[in-house]
Amino acid sequence: MRKPIIAGNWKLNKTPHEAILLTDELKRELVDVEGVDIVLCPPFIDLADVKEALIDHNIALGAQNLFWEDAGAFTGEISAPMLKDLGVAYVIIGHSERRQYFHETNETVSKRLRAALKHGLNPIVCVGENLAQREANQTFDIIKDHCEGSLKGLSAEEMKKVVLAYEPVWAIGTGKTATPAQAQEVHAFIRQWLARTFDEGTAGHVRIQYGGSVTPDNIAALMAQPDIDGALVGGASLKAPSFAAIVKGAQK
Ligand code: PGA
């Protein structure tokens, strides 16, 4: 039985002051929730304040990216040891916005993933097709390419530490959620790919989140699908009531 995992991806939102207010509100809303892993992924600059606000709480902290080198002359970058030292537990890698706007490729995703695993961070690796690819019936080819390229060379033991997020690009921030059936179809494909590439045990262990316009209204139907193990939430994670309702909706 895979434990559901709901992560809030705040993207480029919330100043440190706003981040503390949102975290305090979330703590109150989520204090009694059990059976769901909850992760907040604020911008780098908010991590320390959010970490402090989360002391003695069951909500985990995640970053939205990391650089693959540990240290050195890489102006503007943040490394895995830095995140680890701060108490960050998760890190999103290869989000479609990084692939689209910041030239992220499977190769750089793979390097970041290695760095995260080396330093004991739990990676959330994103894969997903865009609208043109879906309309051209290339969805499974793209998912296979993202999985093969991003997860290349991992052992089964390493793979078990990774959370995957299927995020169809056409559903992100558009209000157009994939239907539960559309999402399930791709999640099942990813799980079969895991079974072929690693083994059945690994495929059964890895959690696969869905992401793309998840709301309190659609979370239950998504979570009812056998291969959907949680959600990566953007817009609806920026307000405490909607994020809390999604977390509660994910309690299986
Ligand atoms: P959204 O974003 O929930 O605003 O569609 C999801 C994501 O990009 O992770």
Helix (H) or strand (E) holding 60, with range, is strand 60-63
* Helical segments of 31-105, H only: 47-53, 80-86, 96-101
Contact (CB, 8 A) for 205 and 157: no
Domains annotated on the chain, with CATH: 5-240 (3.20.20.70)
Q: Exposed (0-12), middle (13-18) or buried (19+): which is 120, by Cβ within 10 Å?
A: exposed
Q: How far is the CA of 72 from the centre of ligand 1 (A)?
A: 32
* Helical segments of 14-165, H only: 16-30, 47-53, 80-86, 96-101, 106-118, 131-135, 139-150, 156-159
Distances (CA, A) of 201 to 187, 197, 204: 16, 11, 5
Q: Kindly list the catalytic residues.
A: 95, 167
Query: Does position 144 have pLDDT exceeding 80, yes or no?
Result: yes
Contact (CB, 8 A) for 43 and 10: yes
Place of tokens 């040891």: 81
Residue 217 identity: D
Confidence of residue 145 (pLDDT cuts 50, 70, 90): very high
pLDDT digits (tens, 9 = 90+) for 160-199: 999 999 999 999 988 888 899 999 999 999 999 999 999 9
232 lines ligand 1 (CB under 6 A): yes
In b/e form, how buried is each residue of 80-98, taking b as 16+ CB within 10 angstroms? Answer: bbbbbeeebbbbbbbbbbb
Residue closest via CA to ligand 1's atom 6 equals 234
pLDDT at 173: 87
pLDDT at 148: 98
Contact (CB, 8 A) for 14 and 235: no
Across the strands, what pairs with 38? 6
Contact (CB, 8 A) for 89 and 62: yes
Across 114-119, average pLDDT: 98
Pairing mode, strands 230-233 and 37-41: unpaired
pLDDT digits (tens, 9 = 90+) for 216-249: 999 999 999 999 999 999 999 999 999 999 999 9
64 lines ligand 1 (CB under 6 A): no
